[in-house]
Amino acid sequence: MQREALSNIEVLIVGAGLGGLVAAIECYRQGHSPRVVESRNEAEGVGDFLGIGPSAINHFQKWPPMAETYRNIIYKPDMIMYTYDGTLIGGPLRLSEASHWRPVPVSRPKLARALYDHALSLGIPIMFGKRIAEYGESEDKAYAIDDRGERFDADVVVAADGIGTKAGKIVPGKAKAVSSGWSVYRVSYPTMILQEDPLLSKYYSFHTEDQPDYCDVFMSPKGQVIILVSRDLTTWLFTHEDKGEAEETWTTRKDSSLALQCLQETGLEWDERIPAIMKRTPPGTIVDYKITWRDPNPTWTSPGGRVVKIGDAAHAFIPNSTNGATQAMEDGISLAACLKLSGKNNITLATRVHTKLRYKQLSPIDLLLAITERFTNPAFSRFERTSCAQKQGFRNKEKWEKDFDLIRKDPLAAAKSVGRWTSQHNPEQYVYDKWQAAVNHIVSGAPFQNTNLPPGYEYEPWTMDSLNLLAGMNDGEIPADPGDWD
Ligand SMILES: Cc1cc2nc3c(=O)[nH]c(=O)nc-3n(C[C@H](O)[C@H](O)[C@H](O)COP(=O)(O)OP(=O)(O)OC[C@H]3O[C@@H](n4cnc5c(N)ncnc54)[C@H](O)[C@@H]3O)c2cc1C
């Protein structure tokens, strides 16, 4: 890896999830000195799959050999869409290549492992078993303290500790989570287990070298199933009505009989593959992940600007957005570039510009008030890019519940989960392009406009209430917005 000139900036990253590891590697490349603390006792291999868009993945080209490793661990499927009973409605659509319309799926444990190995190969210290309980800052330092009282100091502390972030005290405004009424049963297990089943091996076998992986989507108003099968891993997801038993955690394991029962309770005749794949699932292995709505999180940086939240700690996404990991990774890339431009003596400016690049433009009066209140008032904090991506996730969810004739007419539109405005973004270049204008804006109130949003869309702040998510809950329509979201 070609490393930039050393900056002498010490960066402490809390959390070795995807966002934290990407931030650590990119900080290293940009010449900073990162180290990571993680509450788990070892590099984890937890989770099934997620999608990551080109705006984050393209960056692996700068981290040889990550681009090649990534290419080897992604799924390479064709996506086919059916109604719940197995009637074909669209596809196959190639999901193995980077596109502007849907991220390529990748095994989360494999990607987390690859990033961890890459960070280690660069000599980045990663300390396990350090559960951070408190964050703080002084004029010239920031720190994090773990639950046994050990203190870690740095020039800047990055809270990449996920939805349960402990940075809520110093970075106020933790968004309240409200149940969407839905949750997802999900699991990953070796494909050889599935292939022991005569029915399933008929559907999911590999006959030639270049045969694509399988990605079958079954849609209904009462839930959706995704079956993703590669030569070594089988994953299934069943989005279903939550009876209040689901949790927002990836570690509680349940039995697939619960999913089978839930499938029956829909009263629909599901395709034979679905109950078969559930029955084949090893006992006590499935997660029931609760889908929650959140208002955009209003604040990402501490009053002194030395503690900054990234990833899910700053902006959690529902799975339908297929954007959580992408945006977490973009955050790390953007922050590392800002620190490079600011230098060690202007850390606060770096974190403010980083967050500004997703802020709404402030009027001069707003700006004055914002400075007076040290940017802690939520009204001044409008994270445009990530909150647009969150909103898109709500719309995606609706697409697979309703009009199947529409899907027949335009399968690509139904499969599409992101747009060019997300995929074609380059978070590092964006910092270089916008840095000076953002600094002028922060320092002297010069006008500033973000351009990393859907073209033609003037950002409108939203809340769960304003989108009618709470009133409509399961069947609320999200009104269309102007601009090019494709
Ligand atoms: C175990 C796990 C499995 C997941 N599986 C999937 C999946 O299969 N599909 C999917 O779409 N998404 C999954 N996600 C979520 C997904 O990875 C994130 O939404 C996305 O990648 C954003 O990443 P992040 O780094 O911001 O947060 P996360 O990936 O949640 O990472 C946060 C990290 O911080 C650590 N941490 C938390 N609290 C503390 C603390 N107090 N002190 C120190 N460290 C702390 C956590 O152990 C974790 O490693 C999973 C998340 C986790 C943690």
Q: What is the distance in A from the centroid of ligand 1 to the CA of 143?
A: 21
pLDDT, tens digit, 9 for 90 and up, residues 103-135:
889 999 999 999 999 999 999 999 999 999 999
Nearest CA to 159 out of 331, 378, 353, 347 is that of 331
Instruction: Report the percent of the chain where pLDDT is more than 70.
Output: 82
**Distances 220 to 19, 86, 239, 289, 363 between C-alpha atoms, Å:** 33, 11, 10, 19, 46
14 lines ligand 1 (CB under 6 A): yes
Q: What is the distance in A from the centroid of ligand 1 to the CA of 20?
A: 9
Residue having the nearest C-alpha atom to atom 16 of ligand 1: 325
Q: Which two tokens stand for residue 58?
A: 């393209």
pLDDT tops 50 at residue 484: yes
48 lines ligand 1 (CB under 6 A): yes
d(CA 213, CA 95): 9
Residue having the nearest C-alpha atom to atom 22 of ligand 1: 325
- Identify the CATH homologous superfamily for domain 10-175+295-471: FAD/NAD(P)-binding domain (3.50.50.60)
Q: What is the distance in A from the centroid of ligand 1 to the CA of 418?
A: 21
Residue having the nearest C-alpha atom to atom 10 of ligand 1: 50
Handedness of CA 11, 17, 19, 21 (dihedral sign): positive
Handedness of CA 455, 458, 463, 464 (dihedral sign): negative
d(CA 133, CA 144): 8
Residue having the nearest C-alpha atom to atom 29 of ligand 1: 17
Where do the structural domains in the chain lie, given as residue ranges? 10-175+295-471, 177-293
| pLDDT band per the 50, 70, 90 thresholds, residue 474 | very low
332 lines ligand 1 (CB under 6 A): no
* 241 phi/psi in degrees, rounded to 5: -65, 135
Handedness of CA 95, 98, 102, 107 (dihedral sign): positive
- Check residue 408 and give its pLDDT: 81
Average pLDDT of the segment spanning 350-364:
68
39 lines ligand 1 (CB under 6 A): yes
pLDDT tops 60 at residue 72: yes
pTM: 0.88
What number does the ligand 1 atom closest to the CA of 131 have?
A: 42
pLDDT tops 60 at residue 316: yes
47 lines ligand 1 (CB under 6 A): yes
Q: What is the distance in A from the centroid of ligand 1 to the CA of 32?
A: 24
What number does the ligand 1 atom closest to the CA of 16 have?
A: 49
Instruction: To the nearest 10°, report the CA torsion of 339, 342, 346, 351.
Output: -50
Just list the catalytic residues. 186
Question: What is the β-pairing status of strands 33-37 and 10-14?
Answer: parallel
Q: What is the distance in A from the centroid of ligand 1 to the CA of 119?
A: 17
- 40 versus 291: the higher-pLDDT residue is 40
Q: What is the distance in A from the centroid of ligand 1 to the CA of 313?
A: 9
Instruction: To the nearest 10°, report the CA torsion of 170, 171, 175, 177.
Output: -50
What are the residues facing 134 on neighbouring strands?
145
pLDDT, tens digit, 9 for 90 and up, residues 7-25:
999 999 999 999 999 999 9
19 lines ligand 1 (CB under 6 A): yes
291 lines ligand 1 (CB under 6 A): no
pLDDT tops 80 at residue 469: no
